[in-house]
Structures are given as C-alpha cells and as structure tokens.
C-alpha cells in the first residue's frame, strides 16, 4: 500500500504521465461506449454495407462542423420520410381514387449547391400504378415542374439524372439550376425556404403512396463520409477498441513471453540459454516487416493471425538480452539460495521468485511498446493488408490513400484517423516514458 502511495507521489511529478494516463482512461471509455452502442455484428454490417445501407449519405462529404470555421456555408445532408412525419402527408380519399400530397419543406441558408437530391417512392397497388406530379417551389415564389411520372412499387427519382428535367432547365444540372435565380447560369443559390411538393393520385381502393426525400449536401455527419458513402464515425469509434486490443495484447504477450523465456534461460543455463541466444541471433536476420507482409499477402489478413505472428517475431529480440542480464544477477541473490535450500522446484523458483522481481521493470517497457504495435497495425493497413472485416483507423487511411484524398483536398478523411492514432500513441508513450524514469532510478533526475 505504501509503495503504491509512493508510486503515485512519484507519478505526480510528471504531468505528462498524468495527461497520458487520463487520455488512456478516456480511450478505454470510448472503446466501451463504441462496443455498447454499436455491437460487433452491427459494426461489421455497417462497415461492409453498400449502397442499400448508406444511400442516405453523400459521397466524399466532410464533417458538418467544418461549417463552423468557414464563411462559405456548405449545405448539410438531411432526409425527410413521409412515413415518419405525419405533417408531410395529406390524403384526400375519394373512394376509388384518392389524392395524396406530400409536402417537403426545408430551409436553405447555404452558399453552395447540394451533391444530389432524390425521392425514394414506395407504393402499393394491384394493377393501376399511382401517378405523381413533382413540383419545386423556390423562396422567390417561382413554381417549377420537376416531373410527371407513374410510380411502381419501389422507384427512385434522381433529380440530376432526369433527362427531361435537365432539358427543361436548359441543360443545366438540376441540383444547381433549381437553387439559382431565374435565368441565372452561375452564382450563389437563393437562400430561404424551399418546398418540394409531390402530388400523387392513386387509382385503387387502399392503394397507398409514400416517399423519402434524401438530400445529399456537401457535408454530413460528425466525421464525414468516404467513397462508399459510409459514415466515418463507425470506423473511428470502433478503431479505438481494436487499436487498444491489438496494442495491449501484442505488448503484453511479447513482454511476458520474453520475460518467461529469459528467466528460463538464465535459470537453467547451459544449452537452454545457448539455444535461446542463438534463436535471438537468427531472429535478427529475419526481415520482420517483410514476413508480416508475406503472412498478410499469402496466408491470412485476419488481425489475430497478424497479431500472433507479431508476438512470435517480437519475443526473441534485444529485450531478451537485457532481461537475461538482470536475471543472472538476481539468480545469485540469497533469497533464491534459500528457496533452493528448502527444496523449491525449478518452476516455483522461476515463477514465484525470479519473475515477480522483474515486474516493476516490465511495466514501463510494456506501456512504451504499445504505440509501436498500434502503429504497426495501421502500417499494415496502409499497405492494404488490414483485416478485411474489421473497421480500423489504418483502413480509413488506406481507403483515403487509395482514393487520393490528399490530392483531392479531402483532408478530414486522413486527418481524423491520424489524429486519433497520434493521441493514442502519444498517451502511451508519455506514460511509459514517465514510468521508465520512475522505475529506473538511474534515469531519475536526468
């Protein structure tokens, strides 16, 4: 208890360690939050989902908080569903036929044009299709006929791809022309309240019509979207538990196994020790990253395979020599001699007497090696060898890299995962750094 208090007092002298520790705690909090709010199966479904899951999002859209820092406001994405909003839908039932009016009203106070607008119609009928007239009302009082069309059971109307509409608007892209003043070809969109009216007629008893208005702005969500319309909050959130798990398991596995092997070698000596030293030398010759890349390319890109290989290759490195030197010293201490005298078994001496002595030395190294493993996972993902199923930060950077995000100016796409990686890496590095100085009296005051 006293030593723990002493330790905490020591730790207080290093504000960077406290900051690092707090950030690590916060990361664990976020990891727990991510796993509770988006269960694993759901995260995978979202991450692997295609157009049917993400049709409501625009592509390559920066996060919406970007608007807070710029003068030129970019339109935000939104959706209005007639099923969920009773005020949108008005039904006038005339028996055989009925009139259904869907009115979508929205404020538009932005300085740029949307990416796309769409209406997803859903209707039910037996033989006779419902018929709709789509009207567009601008804030300056104009009324533009968008389309007249029959509606099948599921139908999508895309504004920018409707050729009749394009022709009627003089060959201009509808998502721009509909927001511009009359006869203007360029310029800023008119600000104010726009209304999209769908006037539908059904020709059967009980025939119904609903539509979802999807507005693809230029910004979307808190993290933005990627080339597959996916909301980046999912991989950013889920990247936390994966990065922590990979980093911690790898560094824990490596340090503990290294320590046990060093202890066994130092305790038994002779050929066991010799063998361990030779294996360490062989391991020095092996190209570490190349082997990981080979395993990823040829065999399996599963994060657990990569993790096991990483641990396996990291055991027999320089660290084993350092531990061995200390174990050789500890081996000669009197309490080990006493243990031997009362007949303790080899295993007992190694696990009960030798290894516990080393734990204070183990901790700083363990914490400091976490960032290297977190970045290793990201590095492999950047090379395109990330786990094919899991959403990770490295995968986001890889996607961004493949889609030339920096070249296209989509900085958010790379910066968000990079900043998270940096925060995680720095937190562990700062804590480990301070622990190293606390546990290694030789470094204290240096």
Partner 1 sequence: MNLGSQPGEGSKKKSGSAFGRVARYTAVRIFTLFVTIIIGVYLTIMIANMGGYVDEIMRGEIRERITMQVVANPANKNLAPDARNKLVQEKVALEEERLGLNRPLAVRSLNYLSNALTLNLGRAINMTSDSGSKQVRLIILERLPSTLLLMGTANLFLFFVSIFLALGLSRRYGSFWDKLIITLSPTSAAPPWFYGIFLILIFAAIFKVLPFGGMVSAPPPENPLDYTLSVLEHLILPSSALIISAIFISIYNWRTFFLIYSSEDYVEMAKAKGLPARDIESRYILRPTLPTIITNFALLLIGLWTGAIITETIFQWPGLGRTMYRAIGLYDTPVIVGSTIIYAYLLALTVFLLDFVYALVDPRVKVGEGN
Burial of 34-71, coded b for 16+ CB within 10 Å and e otherwise, reads beeebeeeebbebbeeeeebbbbbbbbbbbbebbeeee
Determine contact, residues 367/385, Cβ cutoff 8 Å: no
Residues 91-120 touching partner 1, rule: CB under 8 A, are none
Instruction: Say whether residue 294 binds partner 1 (CB under 8 A).
Output: yes
What strand order describes the sheet that includes 192-202?
A: 89-94, 97-108, 192-202, 131-137, 143-150
Contact letters for partner 1, residues 366-405 (x by CB under 8 A): --x--xx--x--xx--xx-------------x---x----
Cβ 415 to partner 1 shortest distance, Å: 7
Please list every residue from 407 through 436 that binds partner 1, using CB under 8 A: 407, 409, 411, 414-415, 418, 421-422, 425-426, 428-430, 432-433
E strands, 59-109, are 78-81, 89-94, 97-108
Burial label for 396, CB within 10 Å (0-12, 13-18, 19+), is buried
Contact pick of 22, 25, 275, 284 for partner 1 (by CB under 8 A): 284
Instruction: Work out how close the CB of 321 gets to partner 1 at its nearest, in angstroms, rounded to a whole number.
Output: 11
Nearer to partner 1, 101 or 401 (CB): 401
Joined together, the tokens standing for residue 7 give: 């330790």
Residue closer to partner 1 by CB (options 187, 409) is 409
Among 190, 293, 339, 358, binds partner 1 (CB under 8 A): 293
Give min distance, CB of 311 to partner 1, in A: 16
Contact with partner 1 (CB under 8 A) among 295, 311, 355, 396: 295
Written as six digits, the tokens of 394 are 């490295």
What does the alpha-carbon distance between residue 14 and residue 188 come to, in Å, rounded to a whole number? 54
Q: Binding-site residue total for partner 1 (CB under 8 A)?
A: 47
Give CA–CA dist 71/75, Å, rounded.
12
| 270 binds partner 1, rule: CB under 8 A | no
Q: How far is CA 398 from CA 22, 164, 237, 378, in A?
A: 29, 40, 17, 9
Pair of tokens at residue 180: 């511009």
The interface with partner 1 within residues 11-70 (CB under 8 A) comprises 16
291 lies in the binding site for partner 1 (CB under 8 A): yes
Per CB under 8 A, 441 contacts partner 1: no
The region of 118-126, 139-147, 262-270, 276-284 touching partner 1 under the rule CB under 8 A is 276-284
**287 forms part of the interface with partner 1 (CB under 8 A):** yes
| Segment contacting partner 1 by CB under 8 A, of 56-64, 150-158, 210-218, 406-414 | 406-414
Torsion of CA 429, 431, 432, 438, to 10 degrees: 150
On whether the CB atoms of residues 248 and 236 are closer than 8 A, the answer is no
Q: Give how far Cα 436 sits from Cα of 93, 302, 322, Å.
A: 78, 33, 15
Using CA atoms in the order 436, 438, 441, 444, what is the torsion angle rounded to 10 degrees? 90
> Contact 78/116 with Cβ under 8 angstroms?
no
286 lies in the site for partner 1, by CB under 8 A:
yes
- CB nearer partner 1, residue 114 or residue 425: 425
Indicate the pairing of strand 116-124 with strand 154-158.
Answer: antiparallel
Task: Give the interface segment with partner 1, choosing from 41-49, 60-68, 140-148, 289-297 (CB under 8 A).
Answer: 289-297
Tell the smallest beta-carbon distance from residue 325 to partner 1 (Å): 11
Residue 168 is encoded by which pair of tokens? 């009627």
Q: Is 325 in the site for partner 1 (CB under 8 A)?
A: no
Binding mask 195-234 for partner 1 (x = CB under 8 A): ----------------------------------------
Query: What is the rounded CA–CA span in Å between residue 311 and residue 318?
Result: 14
Region for 49 from its dihedrals, namely left if φ exceeds 0, alpha if ψ lies in -120 to 50, beta otherwise = beta
The contact set with partner 1 (CB under 8 A) reads 16, 278, 281-287, 289-291, 293-295, 297-299, 368, 371-372, 375, 378-379, 382-383, 397, 401, 406-407, 409, 411, 414-415, 418, 421-422, 425-426, 428-430, 432-433, 442-443, 446
């Amino acid at each position: 208890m006293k030593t723990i208090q002493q330790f905490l007092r020591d730790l207080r002298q290093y504000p960077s360690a406290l900051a690092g520790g707090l950030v690590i705690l916060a990361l664990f909090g976020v990891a727990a939050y991510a796993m509770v709010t988006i269960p694993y199966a759901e995260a995978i479904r979202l991450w692997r989902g295609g157009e049917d899951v993400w049709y409501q999002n625009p592509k390559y859209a920066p996060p919406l908080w970007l608007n807070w820092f710029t003068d030129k406001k970019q339109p935000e994405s939104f959706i209005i569903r007639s099923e969920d909003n009773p005020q949108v839908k008005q039904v006038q039932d005339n028996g055989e036929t009925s009139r259904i009016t869907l009115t979508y009203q929205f404020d538009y106070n932005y300085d740029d044009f949307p990416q796309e607008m769409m209406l997803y119609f859903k209707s039910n009928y037996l033989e006779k299709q419902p018929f709709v007239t789509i009207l567009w009302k601008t804030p300056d009082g104009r009324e533009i006929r968008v389309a007249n069309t029959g509606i099948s059971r599921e139908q999508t109307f895309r504004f920018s791809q409707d050729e009749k509409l394009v022709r009627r608007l003089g060959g201009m892209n509808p998502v721009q022309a509909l927001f511009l003043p009359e006869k203007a070809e360029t310029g800023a969109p008119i600000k104010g309240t726009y209304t999209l009216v769908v006037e539908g007629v059904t020709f059967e008893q009980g025939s119904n019509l609903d539509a979802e208005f999807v507005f693809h702005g230029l910004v979307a969500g808190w993290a933005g979207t990627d080339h597959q319309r996916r909301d980046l909050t999912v991989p950013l959130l889920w990247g936390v538990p994966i990065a922590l798990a990979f980093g911690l398991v790898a560094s824990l596995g490596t340090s503990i196994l290294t320590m046990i092997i060093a202890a066994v070698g130092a305790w038994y000596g002779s050929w066991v020790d010799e063998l361990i030293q030779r294996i360490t030398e062989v391991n020095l010759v092996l190209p570490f990253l190349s082997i990981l890349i080979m395993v990823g390319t040829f065999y399996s890109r599963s994060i657990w395979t990569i993790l096991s290989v990483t641990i396996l290759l990291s055991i027999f490195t320089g660290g084993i020599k350092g531990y061995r030197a200390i174990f050789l010293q500890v081996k000669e201490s009197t309490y080990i001699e006493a243990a031997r005298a009362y007949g303790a078994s080899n295993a007992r001496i190694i696990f009960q007497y030798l290894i516990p002595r080393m734990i204070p030395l183990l901790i700083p190294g363990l914490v400091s090696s976490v960032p290297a493993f977190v970045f290793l996972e990201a590095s492999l993902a950047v090379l395109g060898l990330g786990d094919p199923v899991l959403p990770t930060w490295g995968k986001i950077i890889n996607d961004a890299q493949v889609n030339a995000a920096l070249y296209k100016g989509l900085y958010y796409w790379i910066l968000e995962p990079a900043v998270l990686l940096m925060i995680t890496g720095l937190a562990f590095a700062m804590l480990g750094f301070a622990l190293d100085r606390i546990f290694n009296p030789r470094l204290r005051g240096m």
